[in-house]
Amino acid sequence: MQHGFVKVGVCKPGLKVADCEYNGNAIIEEGKRYKELGAKILVFPELSITSYTCGDLFLQEPLLNGALEALHKIKEETAEWDTMLVVGLPFMFQSRLFNVAAVMMNGKLLGLIPKTYVPSYQEFYEGRHFQGWQGDSVEVKVGEDVVKLGTRQIFCCAQVPALRVAVEICEDLWAPIPPSSYHAQEGATVILNLSASDEMIGKAAYRRELVRGQSARTLTAYLYGGAGYGESSTDLVFGGHGIICENGRIINEREPFSEGLCISEVDVNKLESERRRIGTFPTQHEGNYEKQSFAFDKIDETSLSRRFSATPFVPSDSNTRDKRCEEILNIQSQGLAKRLQHIGCKNAVIGLSGGLDSTLALLVTVRAYERLRLDKKGITAITMPCFGTTKRTHDNAQNMAQALGVSFKEVPIKDAVLGHFRDIGHDANVQDVTYENSQARERTQVLMDYANEVGGIVIGTGDLSELALGWATYNGDHMSMYGVNASIPKTLIRYLVSYYADHAESEILKKVLYDVLDTPVSPELLPPKEGEISQKTEELVGPYELHDFFLYYMMRFGFMPEKILRMAATAFEGKYDPDEIDSWLKTFYQRFFSQAFKRSCLPDGPKVGSVALSPRGDFRMPSDAVVNGFLRRNHEEDHS
C-alpha cells in the first residue's frame, strides 16, 4: 500500500439459493483467488451468504441461523488473510429483519451495516421481509464479537490514513441522496456497495453511470459488487456486474454475464489530493458516526496491475481525442477572438518558425479570424532566419502561411544580431547563452515593433511544457500580447496539429503539417550541421513526454516525487529505464523551481485544462522557493 495504492477486489462467488453452508465455502474459495493476488479489501454481493432470491425463506429460522453459522466460519477461515472482507446476510435485531453487510478482518467482526432504503416495487419484494434502517447505531453481540449495527460507520486504516472505508447496499445508491454522500462528507474515501441488481435491457449502462457519477461527486473510490450466477432465475436474472471506479473513472469492470476477476488498485492518496484542491468539498458533521480503527499486519509495496497513460494530457480513445482536440481549438480561438474584439484589433503578428508551437498558434489565430469574419490577410506570419534556421523549417513556414491564406513576411535578423554583438562586445564565435538569447530577443523585438507598425498584437507561441521548465528566453519568446498555447503541453500540441492535419482540405497544408510533426523540436539557435537541425531540445532538457507526465501528476495531484517516479517507470516500461527517468525527474524539479520567476509575468492566455501555470489564479508560487525537499528521496517505505 505504499504511495496510497490499495489493491481491491469485487468478488462474484457461485452461489446456491438458501444453501448457507455452500455459499460460505464459495465465498472463502472466491476470496482466496483475490487474496493470492494481494487484494486487501474484498466486497461480495448483497445477501451473499444466503443468496438474494430466497423470498419468504428469509422468514425461516433455519436460514437465519445458517447465515450466522456461515458468517462465523468465513471469519474463522479468513483470520490469517490480512484482508478486509465484506459479505451480505440477513440479521435479526429486536424482532425485525435487516439486510446487512458484515465487515470482518483478521478473525474479527468489525461492524454490521444495514441497508437504508429497502425497495418494494414490482420486481423486488424486500419490503415484505426487511426493514430499512433509520437512526443511530446500536451495539449488538454476534457470537463472541460485540459490534455496532448502523449505517453511520467508517473504518479507518491506522497505517494508511487516507484509507477510510464505508458501506452502502444496492438500492441506497439509487436514492436521491445516497448514504455514501454523507459517508464521504464524514471522510470516507472508499465506498463499498453490496448489490443484487437484476439485469434488464439498458440497465447495466444506467448502473454504470450511477456508479461513475457518485464516485465523481463524492471524490471516492467506489466498488460495486452485483449478484450473479446462482441466484434464482424464477423471475429475474442477475449478471454479476462488478465495477471499480475512482473519482468518476472506471479502472476495472467485469461486464454482466462475464467471467474473470475484477481487481485493481485504488489510489486513496490521489483522492485526498483532490479533496485538498477542491475547497468546496464539504465537511459534514452529522454526529453519531462510528469511526473504527483497523490495521493490516503487513504494509507492502502493492504490485500494480493498473496501467498509467504515458500521455495523461491526451485521451487514449481516438473518438474522445478528436472531440477533445476540437474543444481545445474552440477554447483557444474563442479566447483570442474575445481579445481582438475587445481592443478593436484586426491585425495579428506571429513569429512562424516552422515548429510545432508556432504552427498551432497560427492555426488558432486563423480560427479566431474565421469566427470574427475578419480578413485573414490581417494575420502576418513573420519568419526571421538567423544562424540556426534550416531550409526545411523556413520552407514549411512559408508554405503554411500561403496555404492558410495569411500574409507572410521574411525578416532576416543575422545582421542585426551581429551588430548587437559588436555593441555589447560579444564574440560571435562564442556560441553561449548570449549567442542564443540575443537571437530570441531580436525576434521578439521585430514582432513587437512590426505589431506597432500595423496596429496589431503579437500572438505568443510558448506552451505549458516550456513554461514549466523555463525553456524560454526571458523577454524573448517568453513575451507576447496574448499567449494562445499557455496552458497546452507539448504532447497535446502534437495531437492538436495532427488532428488539424487529418481534417485539412488543402493537400499542401496537410503535407506541410505532417512534415512539421516529423521535425525535431528545436529553437534553432545554433548553426545546422550539413543542413540539418543540430540543436534538439529534448537532448538538452529531456523528453517532453516524460516532463509532461511529471508535470501532470505534480500539479494535478501534488504527488511525492517517489510516487511519480514509480508511476512513470510503469507507464514508460521498455522505453526508458528507471535510472534515466529518475535523472530527468530531478532535472524537471530543478528547472521548475529555478525558472519560476519567468512564470511570474506571463502574458494573458486561455486556460484549457485542469493544469495551468498562470500566476493570476492557477498556480501561485514564490520565485525563490527552494527545491531541496522535492529532490530528497525517502528510500524507506512511505505509507502516507
| CA atoms of 353 and 467, how far apart (whole Å) | 18
Helix (H, G, I), strand (E, B) or coil at 266: strand
Q: Which residues contact 155 (CB under 8 A, 6 or more apart)?
A: 84, 103, 110, 111, 164, 165, 166, 292, 293, 294
Q: Which residue has the cell 510545432?
A: 356
Q: Which three cell numbers stand for residue 525?
A: 539557435
| CA atoms of 491 and 39, how far apart (whole Å) | 35
- The secondary structure element, H or E, covering residue 611 is none
| CA atoms of 266 and 457, how far apart (whole Å) | 48
| CA atoms of 465 and 78, how far apart (whole Å) | 50
What single-letter amino acid sits at 247? N
| CA atoms of 238 and 199, how far apart (whole Å) | 6
| CA atoms of 426 and 122, how far apart (whole Å) | 88
Which of 12, 35, 115, 270 is an active site residue?
A: 115
The DSSP secondary-structure symbol of 231 reads B
Task: Using the Cα atoms of residue 423, residue 424, residue 427 and residue 431 in order, give the sign of their dihedral.
Answer: negative
| CA atoms of 47 and 124, how far apart (whole Å) | 14
- The secondary structure element, H or E, covering residue 204 is helix 203-218
What single-letter amino acid sits at 298? K
Beta-sheet strands, E only, within 288-446: 290-294, 348-351, 379-383, 407-410
Q: Please name which of 83, 108, 101 lies closest in space to residue 263, comparing C-alpha atoms.
A: 83
Our answer to whether residue 270 is catalytic in this structure is no
| CA atoms of 197 and 171, how far apart (whole Å) | 8
Query: What's the CA angle centered on 179, arms 175 and 182, to 5 degrees?
Result: 130
Q: Which three cell numbers stand for residue 367?
A: 480560427
Q: Which three cell numbers stand for residue 290?
A: 462510528
What single-letter amino acid sits at 537? T
Our answer to whether residue 115 is catalytic in this structure is yes
Name residue 584's beta-bridge partners: none
- The answer to whether the CB of 372 falls within 8 A of the CB of 510 is no
Our answer to whether residue 323 is catalytic in this structure is no
Residue 581's Cβ-side half-sphere holds a number of Cα atoms within 13 Å equal to 24
Which of 11, 170, 325, 345 is an active site residue?
A: 170
Beta-sheet strands, E only, within 445-554: 457-460, 482-483
Strands across the sheet containing 262-267:
138-142, 145-149, 108-114, 96-105, 84-93, 41-43, 5-10, 262-267
Phi, psi of 215 (to 5 degrees): -65, -45
Helix (H, G, I), strand (E, B) or coil at 282: coil
| Interior/surface letters 221-249, b for 16+ CB within 10 angstroms, e for the rest | bbbbbbbbebbbeeebebbbbbbbbbbbe
| CA atoms of 607 and 605, how far apart (whole Å) | 7
- The answer to whether the CB of 520 falls within 8 A of the CB of 528 is no
Q: Please name which of 387, 389, 380 lies closest in space to residue 434, comparing C-alpha atoms.
A: 387
Q: What is the DSSP string of 541-586?
A: H--HHHHHHHHHHHHHH---HHHHHHHHHHHTTTTS-HHHHHHHHH
Q: Which residues are catalytic?
A: 46, 115, 170
